[in-house]
Amino acid sequence: MSSATGGLRELHQVHLDLDACQKQLENGPRRIAAHEKKLANKQAEIDAHKADITTLQKTADGKNLQIRTNEQTVADTKAKLNQAKSNVEFDIFKGQIAKAEKANATLEDEYLELLEQVDAENTRLGELNGELKAAEASLQTTKDDFAALEPQVKTQAADLETELREAEKCIPTKMMEQYRRLVIAHGPSTLAPLDASACSECFVELSPQNIVEVRTGKLVICKSCGRILYSPDA
Ligand SMILES: [Zn+2]
């Protein structure tokens, strides 16, 4: 057992814990943004749906107006029947009445169909509003959860930063610059425990001499992937 390898193992653990904290701090806002997007999409769907309903309703109103106009035409023309000056004129009035009544039969069917569509679309709008409320609640929960978690994770991360400075003391001064470069390149996987006789990061077998060096606490860098190796059971 060597205190130097124990130090490397501890250093690796601090890196992993710190990375987990940082991921938690990044994931919170990412999750909130995803929920906000979902909410905005639902709102856009509702807006489009409302516009569709307005269009349907306007079409229905137009049909209704046409029906009323035709009814007026029928009433007016019926009033003129008695004043017809000839059989020909009488037949013309009759024809106009029949035409307006026929047009109204079709218009009334179309009008009722449009009203049914408006009803169905309003029912769907109610469902969409329910989905919007659920999305709002879900966003709020995500925000609340993160607001509750964030301060403690930040404190934990600050403590780990301090622990990291302390744990880094096991890196020899002459290797510090190289270590910093490795941290930039590999993050928390800058260090890798031995997996039997191989590097656990790239699975390349070490030479027997390197294995002995790792086990006795010498700082060995994997020739294949560049990780700092340590013995997991030190
Ligand atoms: Zn390796």
Q: Residue 161 Cα, ligand 1 centroid: separation in angstroms?
A: 26
pTM, entire model: 0.75
Q: Look up residue 217 and give its amino acid.
A: G
Q: Residue 63 Cα, ligand 1 centroid: separation in angstroms?
A: 77
| Confidence (pLDDT) at 2 | 44
Q: What is the largest CA-CA distance in the chain?
A: 125
| Confidence (pLDDT) at 233 | 81
Q: What is the pLDDT tens value at each position of the chain, 234 positions in all?
A: 345 567 999 999 999 999 999 999 999 999 999 999 999 999 999 999 999 999 999 999 999 999 999 999 999 999 999 899 999 999 999 999 999 999 999 999 999 999 999 999 999 999 999 999 999 999 999 999 999 999 999 999 999 999 999 999 999 999 999 999 999 999 999 999 999 999 999 999 999 999 999 999 889 999 999 999 999 886
**DSSP count for the chain of H helices, then E strands:** 4, 4
Q: Determine the distance from the C-alpha atom of residue 180 to the mean position of all C-alpha atoms in its chain, rounded to a whole number.
A: 36
Q: Residue 224 Cα, ligand 1 centroid: separation in angstroms?
A: 5
| Confidence (pLDDT) at 82 | 87
Q: Residue 194 Cα, ligand 1 centroid: separation in angstroms?
A: 9
* CB of 193 closer than 8 Å to CB of 221: no
Length of the chain: 234
Give the pairing type, strands 191-195 and 228-230. Answer: parallel
Q: Residue 173 Cα, ligand 1 centroid: separation in angstroms?
A: 23
CA–CA dist 67, 115 (Å, integer): 14
| Confidence (pLDDT) at 149 | 96
User: What is the three-class DSSP state of 1?
Assistant: coil
User: What is the three-class DSSP state of 221?
Assistant: strand
Which one is the CATH code of 22-167: 3.40.640.10, 2.60.40.10, 1.10.287.1490, 3.30.450.40? Answer: 1.10.287.1490
CA–CA dist 176, 170 (Å, integer): 10
Domain residue spans in the chain? 22-167, 171-234
Q: Residue 163 Cα, ligand 1 centroid: separation in angstroms?
A: 26
Adjacent-strand bridge partners of 229? 192, 220
* Phi, psi of 211, rounded to the nearest 5 degrees: -60, -45
Q: Residue 19 Cα, ligand 1 centroid: separation in angstroms?
A: 20
CA–CA dist 220, 174 (Å, integer): 14
pLDDT digits (tens, 9 = 90+) for 183-200: 999 999 999 999 999 999
Burial class (CB in 10 A: 0-12, 13-18, 19+), 2: middle
Beta strands, E only, the chain:
191-195, 198-199, 220-221, 228-230
